[in-house]
């Protein structure tokens, strides 16, 4: 796999226009199963074709059970300077429901260990609205997070995916289905609590202390180009081409060893581009740049846009600030539904 990924980096070195990288992200799946040496080898390969900003953000997604002392000691000597830890919860019942490999004590200990090895730029994932949880347990989860002094939090409502153990348990009546009313309550408690503790709510599901916004995700939310390497990885040229690699590991390796790319791509229509800009922009504090819309899209699309936002502006569900269209934060829990009402279909 390592050899195939190096081949892909080499073959795709000319796809990014900007050769000076501001962020590098090891994510998707469980990249922390790589050794520190393998991570360094991939970084060295990237550096053959790209340069790094002096203060580049290099993020590694990791499961708590992968962050043992030996791995963290080696990782601390690498260019990785940010960890995104899949904590999910500090409560045993939640973790069992989500079929996580780590337990509650590992969730907490992994964060403390990372800090002991000098990792200050940490993000953790937290899930709310679980049938095994309630508002009081959610408050304890958040109090624990504040006590651990984590500067970035990504938090999502529990969703029931098809063909999962959770779906099976719900269908058999072994556990209740997540309740939207409870998730709504926990979402707004999350937002108010974190803001009271010095966090900025900069995207529907993301909160950061000043100076700790995810640069990688922020670039994505601002429609910047990015290059994804490895099975299932997605890429975007910042305009109208999106591509993705095959998900099957063996197919990916076979094609790359033969010197061909293992990817497919699609040309985004004007309608696709419009819908993406609306969906992504309305989930952030920056909103949708209406000048950018005006420069990118034809009169038919712009007429549709202005017609669809009219009633929502009157209702206060949408607002405009400095020529940016935004959803007031009190309506953020319904952001995806509000955005989809504006879509071209």
pLDDT tens, residue by residue, 130-154? 887 789 999 999 999 999 999 999 9
Q: What is the DSSP letter of 241?
A: E
Distance CA 292, CA 305 (A): 13
Pick the range with the lowest mean pLDDT from 37-41, 167-171, 261-265, 271-275.
167-171
Give the domain ranges of the chain: 18-221, 273-340
Q: Give the pLDDT confidence of 235-284 residue by residue, as tens digits.
A: 998 888 899 999 888 998 999 999 999 889 999 999 999 999 999 999 99
Number of Cβ within a 10 Å radius of residue 345: 5
Higher pLDDT, 219 or 191: 191
Pick the range with the lowest mean pLDDT from 24-33, 72-81, 124-133, 228-237.
24-33
Please give the pLDDT value at position 233: 87
Q: Do domains 18-221 and 273-340 have the same CATH topology?
A: no
- Per DSSP, the residues of 265-322 read EEEPPHHHHHHHHHHHHTTBSS-EEHHHHHHHS-HHHHHHHHHHHHHHHHHTSSEEET
Question: Six-digit token pair at 218?
Answer: 């922020």
Pick the range with the lowest mean pLDDT from 32-46, 90-104, 156-170.
156-170
Q: Give the pLDDT confidence of 288-336 residue by residue, as tens digits.
A: 999 999 999 999 999 999 999 999 999 999 999 999 999 999 999 999 9
Please give the pLDDT value at position 173: 67
Domain 273-340 in CATH 1.10.10? The answer is: yes
In this predicted structure, the answer to whether residue 166 has a pLDDT above a threshold of 60 is: no
Domain 18-221 in CATH 3.30.750.200? The answer is: yes
């Amino acid at each position: 796999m390592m050899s195939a990924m190096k081949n892909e980096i080499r073959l795709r070195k000319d796809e990014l226009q900007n050769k000076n990288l501001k962020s590098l992200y090891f994510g998707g799946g469980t990249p922390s199963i790589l050794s520190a040496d393998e991570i360094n080898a991939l970084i060295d390969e990237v550096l053959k074709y790209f340069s790094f900003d002096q203060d580049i953000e290099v993020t590694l997604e990791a499961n708590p059970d992968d962050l043992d002392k030996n791995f963290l000691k080696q990782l601390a000597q690498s260019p990785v300077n940010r960890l995104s830890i899949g904590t999910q919860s500090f409560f045993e019942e939640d973790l069992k429901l989500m079929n996580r490999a780590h337990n509650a004590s590992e969730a907490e200990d992994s964060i403390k260990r990372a800090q002991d090895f000098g990792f200050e730029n940490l993000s953790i994932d937290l899930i709310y609205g679980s049938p095994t949880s309630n508002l009081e347990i959610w408050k304890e989860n958040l109090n624990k997070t504040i006590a651990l002094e984590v500067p970035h939090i990504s938090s999502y409502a529990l969703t029931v995916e098809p063909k999962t153990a959770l779906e099976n348990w719900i269908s058999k009546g072994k556990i209740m289905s997540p309740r939207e009313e409870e998730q709504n309550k926990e979402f707004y408690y999350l937002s108010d609590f974190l803001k009271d503790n010095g966090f900025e709510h900069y995207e529907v599901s993301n909160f950061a202390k000043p100076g700790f916004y995810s640069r990688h995700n922020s670039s994505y939310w601002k429609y910047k180009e990015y290059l994804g390497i490895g099975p299932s990885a997605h890429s975007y040229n910042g305009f109208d081409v999106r591509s993705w690699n095959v998900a099957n590991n063996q197919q990916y390796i076979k094609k790359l060893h033969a010197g061909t790319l293992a990817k497919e791509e699609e040309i985004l229509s004007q309608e696709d581009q419009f819908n993406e800009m609306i969906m992504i922009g309305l989930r952030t504090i920056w909103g949708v740049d209406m000048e950018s819309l005006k420069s990118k899209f034809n009169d038919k699309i712009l007429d549709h846009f202005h017609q669809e936002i009219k009633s929502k502006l009157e209702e206060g569900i949408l607002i405009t600030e400095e020529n940016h269209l935004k959803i007031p934060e009190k309506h953020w829990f319904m952001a995806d539904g509000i955005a989809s009402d504006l879509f071209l279909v």
